[in-house]
C-alpha cells in the first residue's frame, strides 16, 4: 500500500451473510457504498434467509473467519470496523483477539458493534451463551454498541421495555464499559406514533444521555435497519465524523431509507429498508430531546432545574440573511463598522473589565443609532438590562443562562453549534439564528477537533434552507465564496476585518461577496 493514496476510506464489516440481500453483510456493503467508503467483509455465518424468516444459520469455521481477517489486514487497512452477527463464544473470542492484536500493533480504529441476537422477524441468531463472552471480552474493545431494546435486555439482564427500564439497563452497561451506547427504539413506542433511540456517551460524572426522537414511519420494509444503522455509523466515523454526529446522520440515513423504501416491494414479508443516499432533508433527522422540556417527562430525563430556564421560539430577525457579521471586542470597532454600513455585529468581550456594563450600554446606544442587529456575546444578564438587540450563546451556556428571561425581554438569541448533533440540539430552541463553526482553522480561538470544512457546512445548511444561518471560523476574502456557496446567509469574521491592513476595504470586499 505504501505510496498509494487511498481515495475512499476502507471499512470492514465482520458479520453474517443474508442470502435474501436485506440485512447483514449485504446491507452493510450497500450502506458503505452509498456513504462513500469502500466496504470489505469477513463473513461469520451464511444465513439461509428471505423476507419471511431465517431457516438456517450456517456458521463458518473459526479458520474460515480468521483467514478472511488475515487477508484483509495484510492489504486493506480499515479506518473503522463494524461487527454484526457473532454466532458463538468462539467467534466472539476470535474477533476480540484480533482487535487486541490490532491495538497492540498501534492499528486500533473505531469499532461499532451491533449485537445481532434477534432478527426483526423474531428469529434468534446467536447462541445464548455468547452474551457473557460479549460482555467480558468484546465490549471493552468497542467504541459504540448499538443494541435494540431486546438485545439491551439480553446484555444487561432483566427487561428494557419502557423509558425508565431502558435507561436503567443502559446505565448498567455504561457503568462497566468505556463504549458509548445507542439503543435503537424501532421495536417499541414510548410516545404513541414515535420511535426513540437512546444515545449514551461519556463516562463517570460526564455521562450524557440523549433521546433521539422521530415520527414512526409506517412501512413493511424494515429488514436490515440495525445493520444499516451500525454500518452507516462506522462509515461516517471512517469519514472523520465525531461519534454523536455519526449517530444522528446514520439515524437520518435509516429513516430516509424507511420513508423512501425500494422501488416496489421485495419479497412477500418484511422487505429490506431502502438505501437512498445522503439524508438531505431535516424531516429524516431525529429531534434531540432537551431535559428541560415538558416532553422529557415521558422519557425519564426531565430536569426540574433545566425546566426553570428552558424556552423555545425566540424572536426572529427581520431577515434570514444576516450578511457580513463582524465579531469585535470594543465599542470603538462597533462604531467604526456601523459607519461603514455593516448591519449585523457582535460585541465579544472576553477579558474581565470593571466597565463592562458601560461598554455594553455604549454599544447598545450605537446599535440604536445605526439600527444595528447588535448581539452581545456571553453577558446575557447585562444584555437584557441594557436592552440589547440580541445575545449570542455557546452550547455550554444553554445550561446556565436563563433562556426564559432572554425570551421574555424580547431579545434575539444566536447559538453556536459545531456539527450535526449540536445543530439538531440547538434547533430545538428555535433560536433567532444558528451559527456553525469553525469552518476553517482559526488563530482567534482554540477550535481544534471542531473544524467543519465547507462541504460539511453545505450538508448542514441544506437541512435548514430558510433559516438564518451564520458560518464562522477562519473565513477570509479568499474563502468567502466557498462559504456563501453552502447557502448560509451570513458570515461572521474577526481577524479578516480587525487584522486587515485597511478595514474599510476589507468590509467592502467581504460585503460584495456575501451580500
Ligand atoms: C456568530 C458567532 N458564532 C459563534 C461564536 C462562538 O460563540 P461561543 O461558542 O459562545 O464562544 P465564544 O465566542 O464565547 O468564545 C460567536 N461568538 N459568534
Ligand atoms: C469566536 C469563534 N467561534 C468559533 S470560531 C471563532 C473565531 C473566529 O475568528 P476568525 O474569523 O478570526 O477566524
Ligand atoms: Mg460565548
Distance 493 CA to ligand 2 centre (A): 6
Instruction: Say if residue 445 carries a ligand binding annotation.
Output: yes
Confidence of residue 30 (pLDDT cuts 50, 70, 90): very high
pLDDT at 243 over 70: yes
The pLDDT assigned to 487 comes to 97
470 lines ligand 1 (CB under 6 A): yes
pLDDT at 450 over 50: yes
pLDDT at 515 over 60: yes
Strands 56-59 and 38-48: antiparallel
Q: Around 352, how many Cα atoms within 13 Å sit in the side-chain half-sphere?
A: 0
**pLDDT tens-digit map of 397-436:** 999 999 999 999 999 999 999 999 999 999 999 999 999 9
Cα three-residue angle 292-250-23, rounded to 5 degrees: 130
The pLDDT assigned to 7 comes to 83
Helix (H, G, I), strand (E, B) or coil at 156: helix
- Report residue 332 CA to chain centroid gap: 39
Instruction: Say if residue 128 carries a ligand binding annotation.
Output: no
What ligand 1 atom has the least distance to the C-alpha of 393?
A: 10
Average pLDDT for the chain: 94
Q: pLDDT over 90 for what percent of the chain?
A: 87
Out of 322, 344, 349, 377, give the residue to mutate to test ligand 1, the one with the largest number of ligand atoms within 8 Å of its CB: 377
Distance 26 CA to ligand 2 centre (A): 44
CB 84 within 8 A of CB 124: no
The pLDDT assigned to 412 comes to 98
What ligand 2 atom has the least distance to the C-alpha of 498?
A: 12
C-alpha cell at 352: 474581565
pLDDT at 52 over 60: yes
- Look at residues 401, 400, 406, 403 and name the one whose alpha carbon lies nearest to residue 388: 406
CB 301 within 8 A of CB 276: no
Q: Which ligand is nearest to the CA of 443?
A: 2
Map 235-302 to HEC letters.
HHHHCCCCHHHHHHHHHHHHHHHHHHCCCCCCCCCCCECCCCCCCCCHHHCCEECCCCCHHHHHHCCC
438 lines ligand 2 (CB under 6 A): yes
pLDDT at 117 over 80: no
The pLDDT assigned to 120 comes to 55
* Order of all β-strands in the sheet with 38-48: 56-59, 38-48, 10-18, 80-83, 111-113, 144-145, 180-183, 194-201, 208-215, 287-288
Q: Which residues pair with 433 in a beta bridge?
A: 414
Radius of gyration, alpha carbons of the chain: 25
Angle between helices 24-34 and 225-238 (to 10 degrees): 40
Distance 423 CA to ligand 3 centre (A): 16
439 lines ligand 1 (CB under 6 A): no
494 lines ligand 2 (CB under 6 A): yes
Confidence of residue 125 (pLDDT cuts 50, 70, 90): low
- Higher-pLDDT residue of 7, 358: 358
Instruction: Say if residue 184 carries a ligand binding annotation.
Output: no
Confidence of residue 178 (pLDDT cuts 50, 70, 90): confident
Element (H, E) at 424: helix 420-427
- Look at residues 48, 222, 20, 211 and name the one whose alpha carbon lies nearest to residue 121: 222
Helix (H, G, I), strand (E, B) or coil at 10: strand
Give the Cα separation of 81 and 141 in Å (integer): 11
pLDDT at 1 over 50: no
Q: Which ligand is nearest to the CA of 383?
A: 3
**pLDDT tens-digit map of 299-321:** 999 999 999 999 999 999 999 99
**pLDDT tens-digit map of 484-495:** 999 999 999 999
Out of 328, 344, 347, 348, give the residue to mutate to test ligand 1, the one with the largest number of ligand atoms within 8 Å of its CB: 348
Model pTM score:
0.96
Q: What is the mean pLDDT of residues 490-511?
A: 98
Confidence of residue 2 (pLDDT cuts 50, 70, 90): very low
392 lines ligand 1 (CB under 6 A): yes
**pLDDT tens-digit map of 345-377:** 999 999 988 999 999 999 999 999 999 999 999
Give the Cα separation of 66 and 64 in Å (integer): 5
- Look at residues 386, 384, 425 and name the one whose alpha carbon lies nearest to residue 405: 384
Confidence of residue 207 (pLDDT cuts 50, 70, 90): confident
Out of 435, 439, 445, 471, give the residue to mutate to test ligand 1, the one with the largest number of ligand atoms within 8 Å of its CB: 435
The pLDDT assigned to 478 comes to 98
Confidence of residue 176 (pLDDT cuts 50, 70, 90): confident
The pLDDT assigned to 5 comes to 62
Give the Cα separation of 430 and 509 in Å (integer): 32
pLDDT at 177 over 90: no
Nearest CA to ligand 1 atom 8: 394
Q: What is the mean pLDDT of residues 88-106?
A: 97
Q: Which ligand is nearest to the CA of 468?
A: 1
Instruction: Say if residue 374 carries a ligand binding annotation.
Output: no
Distance 511 CA to ligand 1 centre (A): 21
What ligand 2 atom has the least distance to the C-alpha of 495?
A: 12
What ligand 1 atom has the least distance to the C-alpha of 435?
A: 3
Instruction: Say if residue 494 carries a ligand binding annotation.
Output: yes
435 lines ligand 1 (CB under 6 A): yes
What ligand 1 atom has the least distance to the C-alpha of 445?
A: 15
Q: What is the mean pLDDT of residues 236-254?
A: 98
Nearest CA to ligand 1 atom 10: 394
The pLDDT assigned to 343 comes to 98
329 lines ligand 1 (CB under 6 A): no
C-alpha cell at 136: 467480558
Nearest CA to ligand 1 atom 15: 445
Out of 329, 416, 436, give the residue to mutate to test ligand 1, the one with the largest number of ligand atoms within 8 Å of its CB: 416
489 lines ligand 2 (CB under 6 A): no
- Higher-pLDDT residue of 265, 32: 32
pLDDT at 271 over 50: yes
Instruction: Say if residue 504 carries a ligand binding annotation.
Output: no
506 lines ligand 2 (CB under 6 A): no
pLDDT at 4 over 70: no
Distance 366 CA to ligand 2 centre (A): 23
pLDDT at 119 over 60: no
**pLDDT tens-digit map of 57-66:** 999 999 999 9
Amino acid at each position: 500500500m505504501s505510496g498509494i493514496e487511498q481515495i475512499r476510506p476502507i471499512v470492514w464489516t465482520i458479520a453474517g451473510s443474508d442470502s435474501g440481500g436485506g440485512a447483514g453483510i449485504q446491507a452493510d456493503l450497500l450502506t458503505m457504498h452509498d456513504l462513500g467508503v469502500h466496504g470489505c467483509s469477513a463473513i461469520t455465518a451464511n444465513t439461509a434467509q428471505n423476507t419471511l424468516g431465517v431457516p438456517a444459520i450456517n456458521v463458518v469455521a473459526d479458520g474460515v473467519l480468521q483467514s478472511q481477517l488475515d487477508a484483509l489486514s495484510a492489504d486493506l487497512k480499515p479506518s473503522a470496523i463494524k461487527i454484526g452477527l457473532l454466532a458463538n463464544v468462539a467467534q466472539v473470542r476470535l474477533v476480540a483477539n484480533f482487535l487486541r492484536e490490532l491495538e497492540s500493533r498501534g492499528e486500533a480504529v473505531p469499532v461499532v458493534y451491533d449485537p445481532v441476537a434477534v432478527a426483526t422477524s423474531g428469529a434468534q441468531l446467536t447462541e445464548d451463551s455468547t452474551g457473557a463472552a460479549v460482555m467480558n471480552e468484546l465490549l471493552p474493545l468497542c467504541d459504540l454498541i448499538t443494541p435494540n431494546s431486546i438485545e439491551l435486555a439480553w446484555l444487561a439482564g432483566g427487561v428494557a421495555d419502557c423509558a425508565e427500564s431502558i435507561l436503567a439497563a443502559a446505565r448498567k452497561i455504561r457503568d462497566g464499559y468505556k463504549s458509548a451506547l445507542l439503543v435503537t427504539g424501532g421495536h417499541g413506542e414510548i410516545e404513541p406514533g414515535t420511535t426513540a433511540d437512546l444515545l449514551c456517551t461519556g463516562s463517570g460524572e460526564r455521562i450524557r444521555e440523549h433521546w433521539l426522537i422521530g415520527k414512526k414511519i409506517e412501512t413493511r420494509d424494515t429488514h436490515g435497519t440495525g445493520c444499516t444503522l451500525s454500518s452507516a455509523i462506522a462509515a461516517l466515523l471512517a469519514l472523520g465524523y465525531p461519534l454523536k454526529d455519526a449517530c444522528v446522520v446514520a439515524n437520518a440515513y435509516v429513516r430516509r431509507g424507511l420513508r423512501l423504501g425500494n422501488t416496489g416491494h421485495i419479497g412477500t414479508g418484511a422487505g429490506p429498508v431502502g438505501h437512498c443516499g445522503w439524508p438531505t432533508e431535516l424531516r429524516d433527522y431525529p429531534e434531540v430531546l432537551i431535559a428541560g422540556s415538558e416532553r422529557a417527562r415521558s422519557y425519564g430525563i426531565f430536569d426540574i432545574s433545566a425546566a426553570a430556564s428552558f424556552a423555545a421560539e425566540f424572536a426572529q430577525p427581520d431577515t434570514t440573511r444576516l450578511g457580513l457579521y463582524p465579531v469585535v471586542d470594543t465599542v470603538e470597532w462597533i462604531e467604526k463598522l456601523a459607519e461603514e454600513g455593516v448591519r449585523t455585529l457582535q460585541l465579544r468581550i472576553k477579558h474581565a473589565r470593571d466597565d463592562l456594563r458601560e461598554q455594553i450600554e455604549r454599544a447598545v446606544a450605537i446599535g440604536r443609532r445605526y439600527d444595528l442587529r447588535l448581539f452581545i456575546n456571553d453577558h446575557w444578564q447585562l444584555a437584557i438590562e441594557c436592552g440589547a438587540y440580541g445575545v449570542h450563546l455557546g452550547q455550554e451556556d444553554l445550561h446556565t443562562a436563563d433562556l426564559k428571561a432572554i425570551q421574555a425581554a424580547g431579545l434575539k438569541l444566536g447559538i453556536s453549534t459545531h456539527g450535526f448533533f449540536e445543530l439538531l440540539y440547538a434547533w430545538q430552541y428555535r433560536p433567532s439564528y444558528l451559527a456553525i463553526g469553525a469552518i476553517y482553522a482559526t488563530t482567534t480561538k482554540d477550535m481544534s477537533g471542531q473544524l467543519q470544512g465547507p462541504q460539511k457546512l453545505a450538508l448542514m445548511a441544506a437541512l435548514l434552507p430558510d433559516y438564518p444561518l451564520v458560518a464562522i471560523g477562519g473565513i477570509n476574502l479568499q474563502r468567502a465564496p466557498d462559504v456563501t456557496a453552502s447557502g448560509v446567509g451570513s458570515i461572521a469574521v474577526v481577524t479578516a476585518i480587525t487584522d486587515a491592513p485597511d478595514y474599510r476595504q476589507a468590509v467592502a470586499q467581504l460585503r460584495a461577496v456575501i451580500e
